[in-house]
Structure 1
Amino acid sequence: MNKALSAIIAGGGLGGLATAAALAQRGWDVTVYERQPALRAAGSGIYIWENGLRVLEALGACEDAVRDAFHGRCFEQRDNLGGIIESAPIAAGKRLITVKRSQLLDALRDASLRAGVKVVTSAEIIGATPRGELRFANGDIARADLAVGVDGIWSRVREALGLEMYHQQTEEGALRTVIDSRPGDIPEADAGKYIENWNGTRRLLITPINAQQIYLALTCTESDRAARDTNIDKALWSAAFPQWRHLIERIGNEVSWGVYSIIKCSAWSAGRTVILGDAAHAQPPNLGQGGGMAMQNGLALGVALEGVQHAEQIPAALEAWEARERPLVDHCQKWSTLYGEVAFLPDAVRTATIRGAMGNAWVSEQIFRAANHVPSGTIGFVPQGAACKVGDEVHV
Structure 2
Amino acid sequence: MISGRNGTRSAVVIGAGIGGLTAAVALHRIGWDVTVLERSPVITEVGAGLTLWPNAIRTLGVLGLEATVSAHAIPTVSRGNIRQPDGRWLRHGRPDDVGVLAIHRAQLHEVLRGALPQRSVRTGADVVEVTDHEHGATTAYIASGEPHELTADLVVAADGLNSASRQRLFPDHPAPVFQHRTVWRGVTEPDAAWPVQECITLGRGEQVGLLPLTDHRVYWFLTVNAERPGLRSDDEHAEARRRIAHWHEPIPSVVDATRPERVLHNDIVDLDPLPAFVRRHTALLGDAAHAMTPDLGQGACQAIEDAVVLADHLAGEAAVPAALAAYDRHRRARTQLIARTARQSNARNADDSAVAHALTALAVRLVPPGLWRRSTARWADWTPPTAISAIGSR
What TM-score bracket applies, with the shorter chain setting the length?
Answer: 0.7 to 0.9
CA distance in 1, matches of 2:44, 2:63: 19
Q: CA offsets per residue over residues 269-293 of structure 1, 9 Å max, x none? A: 1001111100000001111111111
Post-superposition shift, 1:248? 2.4
- 1:97 equivalenced with 2:101 (yes/no): yes
Cα 1:237–1:181 change in 2 (3 A) is: farther
Deviation at 1:9, TM superposition (A): 0.6
For 2:240 and 2:99, the matched residues in 1 are separated by: 34
> Which residue number in structure 1 is paired with residue 349 of structure 2?
343
Partner of 1:77: 82
> What residue is the counterpart of 2:10 in the other structure?
6
2:307 and 2:360 map into 1 onto residues whose CA distance is 35
Structure-2 separation of matches of 1:49 and 1:382: 25
Shift of 1:267: 0.5
SS, match of residue 39 in structure 2? coil
Matched-pair contact (CA < 8 Å) for 1:85–1:351: no
d(CA) in 1 for partners of 2:310 and 2:172? Answer: 20
| Counterparts of residues 89-168 of structure 1 (less than 5 Å) | 89=94, 91=96, 95-113=99-117, 118-131=120-133, 132-137=137-142, 139-162=147-170, 165-166=173-174, 167-168=176-177
C-alpha contact 2:86 2:248 (8 A) present in aligned 1: no
* CA pair 332-134 structure 1, distance change in 2 beyond 3 A: same
- Aligned equivalent of 2:327: 321
Partner SS for 1:175: strand
Shift of 1:379: 9.8
SS at match of 1:180: coil
Determine if the alignment matches structure 1 residue 24 to structure 2 residue 32: no
1:139–1:330: structure 2 CA closer, same or farther, 3 Å change rule? Answer: same
User: Are residue 353 (structure 1) and residue 357 (structure 2) matched?
Assistant: no
Residues in 2 aligned to 1:355 and 1:139: alpha-carbon distance in whole angstroms: 60
Counterpart pick for 1:284 among 280, 293, 313: 293
Q: Indicate the SS of the match to 1:9.
A: strand
Q: Which runs of 5+ in 2 are unaligned?
A: none
* Distance verdict in 2 for CA 1:59–1:220, change over 3 Å: same
Aligned Cα RMSD in Å? 3.0
For structure 1, the 5+ residue unaligned runs are 385-396
Contact (CA 8 Å) 2:178, 2:269: kept in 1 or not?
yes
TM normalised by structure 1 equals 0.84
- Spell out, residue by residue over 1:256-308, the C-alpha distance to the aligned partner (whole angstroms, 9 max, x if none): 11112211211001001111100000001111111111011101110000133
**CA distance in 2 between partners of 1:303 and 1:149 (Å):** 17
Q: Distance in 2 between matches of 1:42 and 1:374?
A: 30
Task: For residue 219 of structure 1, report the CA deviation from its aligned partner.
Answer: 1.5
Opposite residue 122 of structure 2, the aligned amino acid is V
Deviation digits for residues 153-204 of structure 1, max 9, x if unmatched? Answer: 11111111116633212211211110035487447xxx4xx21112233321
Q: Which residue does the alignment assign to 1:373? A: 382
Rounded to whole Å, the distance in 2 between the matches of 1:164 and 1:274 is: 18
Moved more, 221-230 or 27-36: 221-230
2:139 counterpart SS class: strand
Relative to structure 1, the CA distance from residue 359 to residue 149 in structure 2 (aligned partners, 3 Å threshold; closer, same or farther) is: same
Deviations 1:128-174 (A, max 9, x none): 23442323245433221101100001111111111663321221121
Contact kept, 8 Å, 1:168 with 1:261, in 2: the verdict is yes
Correspondence for 1:38:
42
| Aligned with residue 239 of structure 1, among 230, 245, 254 | 245
- Report the CA distance shift for 1:306/1:383 in structure 2 as closer, same or farther (over 3 A): closer
* 1:262 matched to 2:266: no
**Distance (whole Å) between structure 2 residues aligned to residue 159 and residue 382 of structure 1:** 34
User: Whole-Å Cα distance in 2 between the matches of residues 226 and 366 of structure 1?
Assistant: 35
SS in 2 for 1:143: strand
Q: Cα gap change, 1:234/1:174 in structure 2, threshold over 3 Å: closer, same or farther?
A: closer
- Of all paired residues, the percent bearing the same amino acid is 24
Contact 1:13–1:40 under 8 Å retained in 2: no
Secondary structure of 1:306's aligned partner: helix
| Equivalent residue pairs, number | 373
Aligned-pair distance for 1:29? Answer: 1.0
Letter in 2 for 1:30: V
**Contact in 2 for aligned 1:206/1:217 (Cα 8 Å):** yes
Q: Which amino acid aligns with 1:308?
A: E
Q: Measure, in 2, the Cα distance between the counterparts of 1:340 and 1:258.
A: 15
Given the alignment of the two structures, is residue 171 of structure 1 paired with residue 177 of structure 2, yes or no?
A: no
Greater shift, 218-227 or 144-153, is seen at 218-227
User: CA, structure 1 residues 127+237, in 2 after alignment: closer, same or farther (shift >3 Å)?
Assistant: same
Corresponding position of 1:218: 222
